[in-house]
Amino acid sequence: MTLPDAGSAAFHGVDAQALLAALPDPVALLGPSGQVILNRAAQARVAQYSATGDWMALFQGSSVAPIQDAVQAALRGETRQVTVQVVDTVAPGLLTVAPTAGGALLHLHVARDPLEVALELMDGLGLGMTVQAPDTRILLTNDAAARILGMTREQLLGRDSMDPEWRAVHPDGTDFPGETHPSVQALRSMQVQRDVPMGVYHPGEAAWRWLQVTAIPRRAPGATQPKQVTTVFADVTERQQMQAEVRRSERRFRSLVEATTQVVWNTDPAGSLLPPQPRWEEFTGQTPDEYRGTGWLDAVHPDDRAGAIHDWQVALNTGGLYTTEYRLRRADGTYVPMLTRGVPIIDERGQLLEWLGTNTDLSAIREAEQALKLLNAELEERVQQRTQELAQLTRFSTLLLTAAGESIFGLDARGVTTFANPAAARMLGHSIESMIGQEQHALVHHHHADGRPFPLEDCPIHQTLLDGQTRRVDRDVMWHAQGHAVPVAYVVTPTHDQAGEVNGAVIMVQDITERVRAQTQLQELIDDLERSNQDLEQFAYVASHDLQEPLRTVGSYAELLARRYQGQLDPRADQYLHFMQDAVTRMRSLIQDLLSFARLSRTELNFAPVTLNDLMLAAQQNVQATLDAAGGTLTWDTPDQVWGQGSLLTQLLTNLVSNGLKFQRPGQPAKVHVTSRQEGDMIHVSVRDNGIGIAPEYHARIFEIFQRLHRRETYAGNGMGLAICRKITEHHGGRIWLESAPDQGSTFHLTLPAVPHP
């Protein structure tokens, strides 16, 4: 079909069908025989209201007559425009009815309801919008509203504000009942309700959404009643959360400022402090009249004023940052050191608006700084100390490893050398490198000192690797690279991994070559000494024994001589004879002492328990003559028993007691007291006298044979007594010594074995 020329050359040749189809407005073409052709927009619209496709179903009844009139007019060749009421829209439509060849063209232009436009617009902005009837039923809604409220459009339409399904709250959490919703209030009061915060429960998310609701009442078009209400709301949940966050951090910031800043102030651009300055008043106690302008300087410490003024002037002149320190008088009259800062506040046009400043209490900051400094110092000290300790430790271990005289080896669990120090390398003639990685036993520990092979299983080091026990070996050998044995003593200590398993061992080896040599030498010396001692004793015994015979002969003849010629020769010969007899007697006594001394070494000792009290009784008997003659006293307190040979011990005590009685100060009666007490396995016997005493330098000498400190004329004796005492004591496994000083008396101490337990 071709449309007739409608007066515009521009349509010439255009496919009228295509044009009609593209037109967004509904268009109907009435043919001469009464048939109706609808374009796509018209078809879609009509389909909603008429199953049969009746074009007239689009219009409300009141519009039917005027349309029919217009069609009649068109058929007559007139074009008419009529205002029509379309069924589904509030706004009226404009229908243009124009004549065509044998028919009419109807073009409907529906002005869209501003409300619909608004709904769409709000949707585009993500804002929810509903229109409610006077009974609060929801008449219209956009998609955003449904989305925000968590419902479909269908669920929303028809619902009213009193529906108990709504769950709404005020920001403080209290209930927000339907009859107080902004939409209801707007309807009731015909006043706009603006930006009312409201929490609405979103069933899909099971969470509260925060809305900001504005409700605008309006009268329905073309009538005074009924009223309607349009509600627009934004979902501010996220904004709310962000604001809460901002408020929180602001609070935090504020408390921070309050904690550190004592005073906040501001001045006009010229630098005058103008009331109100609540913090300044609070801190300084100044009244507005007192601080106004430059009155604030009055609260600054007099000594700091000049500096403060100068700095303030510089800042005002240059418009730069104001920083100064001064002492500010607090309301209680004390001065507080303050760090003062001021910044010029400038608007976007570069105009100076004001100065904003803070005074910060420096004492608190200084205190904190001080505390921090102390803390730092302490920390540093601790670090230094720890560093030193570590350095020392490292130095120590390095020293131990490299400089230690002892050789140190490290072995792994298989007995392979993992480290060796220079001393170890020196001792065994291997380089460190050649030992590391080698099995230690096979390399340096393969044979015993006597040349027998040393099986690994028997090696104490190997056993330590197996059982984790520390072992000490006092005498062993390790083999030098050149084939000779090095006598060693060593300690093998296991090392453990983190799980506690033995993962190796450290061996500290001491080269005991020198010690072994010294021991050998000492042993040889001892053997030598023993031999020569034996020789000497043999000699003394033989000598004294053999000397007795000729002495007896000399003695006998001297006696014979004396008996036969006494008084017949001149007096001098008698005197000579006397000397001779005397010498023989002394010689005999000397020889007997020497013989008994020498015999001591040869006697087989038969040890038995001996009661000291019995020994003392025997000794007392032996010295009875002396006691009777010189009138001394002998007492004892000896409750113990000793383990020894009675006859020798009697001789020992007799010698000591008789010395005590003998070496007396002239005119002073001798007192000898003997005591005993058990000390461990030994009995300690002390023989104390009140005699002449012995100077310390002679304490050792008097125990040697024939050593005396006095002429025989003063105190008789051979100088063998104490030598015999020592020999007897030592034969019993004891010790003899003395404590004495001249004129202080002497105490001879000796130890003898106690009776052993059965």
Q: What is the 3-state secondary structure (H, E, C) of 485-544?
A: EEEEEEEEEEEECCCCCEEEEEEEEEECHHHHHHHHHHHHHHHHHHHHHHHHHHHHHHHH
CB of 674 to ligand ADP, least distance (A): 12
CB of 663 to ligand ADP, least distance (A): 3
Long-range contacts of 433-437 (CB under 8 A, 24+ apart): 435/409
| Binding-site member from 505, 674, 692, 728 for ligand ADP (CB under 6 A) | 692
Q: Does 227 bind ligand ADP (CB under 6 A)?
A: no
720-739 positions binding ligand ADP, by CB under 6 A: 720-723
Please say which residue, 349 or 711, places its beta carbon nearer to ligand ADP. 711
CB of 713 to ligand ADP, least distance (A): 12
Please say which residue, 414 or 701, places its beta carbon nearer to ligand ADP. 701
CB of 721 to ligand ADP, least distance (A): 3
693-722 positions binding ligand ADP, by CB under 6 A: 694, 702, 707-710, 717-722
Q: Does 660 bind ligand ADP (CB under 6 A)?
A: yes
> Could you write out the DSSP letters of every residue in 400-434?
IIII-SSEEEEEETTSBEEEE-HHHHHHHT--HHH
Q: Could you give the string, one character per residue 385-424, with x where binding to ligand ADP holds by CB under 6 A and - elsewhere?
A: ----------------------------------------
CB of 648 to ligand ADP, least distance (A): 16
Please say which residue, 296 or 703, places its beta carbon nearer to ligand ADP. 703
Neighbours of 514 (CB within 10 A): 9
667: alpha, beta or left, given left = phi > 0 and alpha = psi -120 to 50?
left
Residues forming beta bridges with residue 85, ordered by sequence position: 92
Q: Does 659 bind ligand ADP (CB under 6 A)?
A: yes
CB of 709 to ligand ADP, least distance (A): 3
Q: Does 215 bind ligand ADP (CB under 6 A)?
A: no
Q: Does 597 bind ligand ADP (CB under 6 A)?
A: no
Q: Which of these ranges, 1-9, 371-379, 676-684, 691-699, lies near ligand ADP under the rule CB under 6 A?
A: 691-699
Q: Walk across the sheet containing 103-110 and list its strands.
A: 36-38, 27-30, 103-110, 92-100, 80-85
Distance CA 295, CA 290 (A): 5
CB of 735 to ligand ADP, least distance (A): 17
The answer to whether the CB of 126 falls within 8 A of the CB of 119 is no
The answer to whether the CB of 34 falls within 8 A of the CB of 26 is no
Q: What is the 3-state secondary structure (H, E, C) of 280-325?
A: HHHHHCCCHHHHCECHHHHHECHHHHHHHHHHHHHHHHHCCCEEEE
Please say which residue, 535 or 704, places its beta carbon nearer to ligand ADP. 704
Please say which residue, 510 or 718, places its beta carbon nearer to ligand ADP. 718
CB of 712 to ligand ADP, least distance (A): 8
Distance CA 167, CA 150 (A): 12
Please say which residue, 284 or 654, places its beta carbon nearer to ligand ADP. 654
160-179 positions binding ligand ADP, by CB under 6 A: none
Q: Which of these ranges, 188-196, 319-327, 572-580, 657-665, lies near ligand ADP under the rule CB under 6 A?
A: 657-665
Distance CA 218, CA 221 (A): 9
CB of 450 to ligand ADP, least distance (A): 50
Please say which residue, 357 or 632, places its beta carbon nearer to ligand ADP. 632
CB of 734 to ligand ADP, least distance (A): 18
Please say which residue, 292 or 699, places its beta carbon nearer to ligand ADP. 699
Which of helix, strand or coil describes residue 479?
Answer: strand
CB of 507 to ligand ADP, least distance (A): 55
The answer to whether the CB of 729 falls within 8 A of the CB of 735 is yes
CB of 664 to ligand ADP, least distance (A): 8
Q: Does 663 bind ligand ADP (CB under 6 A)?
A: yes
Q: What does the block give as tokens for 205?
A: 């998310």
Which of helix, strand or coil describes residue 152?
Answer: coil
451: alpha, beta or left, given left = phi > 0 and alpha = psi -120 to 50?
left
**Residue whose pair of structure tokens reads 């879609």 in the numeric block:** 44
CB of 743 to ligand ADP, least distance (A): 10
106-145 positions binding ligand ADP, by CB under 6 A: none
Please say which residue, 515 or 710, places its beta carbon nearer to ligand ADP. 710
| Binding-site member from 691, 728, 736, 750 for ligand ADP (CB under 6 A) | 691
Q: Which amino acid is at 70?
A: A
| Binding-site member from 689, 727, 729, 750 for ligand ADP (CB under 6 A) | 689
What values do phi and psi take at 392, rounded to 5? Answer: -65, -45
Please say which residue, 675 or 718, places its beta carbon nearer to ligand ADP. 718
Distance CA 323, CA 749 (A): 92
Please say which residue, 686 or 718, places its beta carbon nearer to ligand ADP. 718
Give the contacts of 96 (CB within 8 A, at least 6 positions apart). Answer: 79, 80, 81, 106, 107, 109
Distance CA 657, CA 672 (A): 7
Q: How many residues bind ligand ADP (CB under 6 A)?
A: 20
Q: Does 746 bind ligand ADP (CB under 6 A)?
A: yes
Please say which residue, 507 or 702, places its beta carbon nearer to ligand ADP. 702
584: alpha, beta or left, given left = phi > 0 and alpha = psi -120 to 50?
alpha
CB of 605 to ligand ADP, least distance (A): 22
Q: What does the block give as tokens for 611?
A: 């009661």
Q: Which amino acid is at 185?
A: Q
> Could you write out the DSSP letters of every residue in 323-391?
EEEEEEE-TTS-EEEEEEEEEEEE-TTS-EEEEEEEEEEHHHHHHHHHHHHHHHHHHHHHHHHHHHHHH
Please say which residue, 98 or 594, places its beta carbon nearer to ligand ADP. 594
Please say which residue, 324 or 655, places its beta carbon nearer to ligand ADP. 655
Interface residues with ligand ADP (CB under 6 A) are 659-660, 663, 689, 691-692, 694, 702, 707-710, 717-723, 746
